[in-house]
Amino acid sequence: MSDSLKATIATTVGASFILETACAATQTSMSSSPHTATAFEFKQIALPYEKNSLEPVIDTMTMDIHYTKHHAAYIKNVNEAIVAEKVSYQSEKEFFDNASTLSAKVRNNAGGAWNHNFFWQVMKPGASGTPYGKIVSALDGSFGSVPKFMEQFTAAAMGRFGSGWAWLVKDASGKLQVTSTPNQDNPLMDLPAGQAGTAHVKGTPLLGLDVWEHAYYLKYQNKRNEYVANWWNVVNWNEVANRLG
């Protein structure tokens, strides 16, 4: 509030109380640094089930370390990097729409933060192992059949060299596609191309599988194929259908 306006109020109303209140309000807003945007924070979701409840597909110790160490570290690291690097994006969408502008540290840890929040939600205890409901017709329409989709998804998970993720995404045209990303990249990111020049498929993730060794090594060691095959038994198809819209 300008001094002249304060003076006008004081003169017009003739009550010093109002002037004092106005000054206090002005000082409060000044002290909260109105010109510095608050840094966006990624938040780790609460696990939607107990750490032992995806047994025997995913063992309790893997869940515990994965959630409390790996995922928690991505959250902590991205939030520290956002502050240190003064990144001004204010939503997850903004981060991933502009992923190509981010430093490797912010991009990797933002991806890790988001991807794991997503991963926990597309799994659930006591799932049926095969898709059901409206997702079935969508998979049939895009891949020919559910088994053909599962075959493609498994190939993407197995073919991802090193660390990364396999994904089922809905692209801009509404078609479902299988893809994979290296490291902690994801299909929300505006990346021109994937590793080794392979196409980066951009779209809305419906399902994702973490194929980093930290996701399966304690139980499956080098047998990623067994991890992927067993993982279908904990896929939360209700959640996948919800994300299909």
Residues that bind Mn ion (CB under 5 A): 210, 212, 215
Output 63 or 138, the one with its CB closest to Mn ion.
Answer: 63
Owner of token pair 């060299």: 161
The count of other CB atoms within 10 Å of the CB of residue 191 is: 20
Q: What minimum distance in Å lies between the beta carbon of 224 and Mn ion?
A: 13
Output 6 or 70, the one with its CB closest to Mn ion.
Answer: 70
Q: Which residue is nearest to Mn ion (CB)?
A: 210
User: What's the CA gap between 72 and 141, in Å, rounded?
Assistant: 38
> How much helix, strand and coil, in percent to the nearest 5, is found in the chain?
55, 10, 35
**By the 8 A CB rule, do 191 and 110 touch?**
no
Output 132 or 161, the one with its CB closest to Mn ion.
Answer: 161
Q: What minimum distance in Å lies between the beta carbon of 5 and Mn ion?
A: 56
Q: What minimum distance in Å lies between the beta carbon of 95 and Mn ion?
A: 18
Q: What minimum distance in Å lies between the beta carbon of 112 and Mn ion?
A: 7
**By the 8 A CB rule, do 142 and 176 touch?**
yes
User: What's the CA gap between 214 and 74, in Å, rounded?
Assistant: 14
Q: Which tokens is 2 given?
A: 């300008």
Output 58 or 87, the one with its CB closest to Mn ion.
Answer: 58
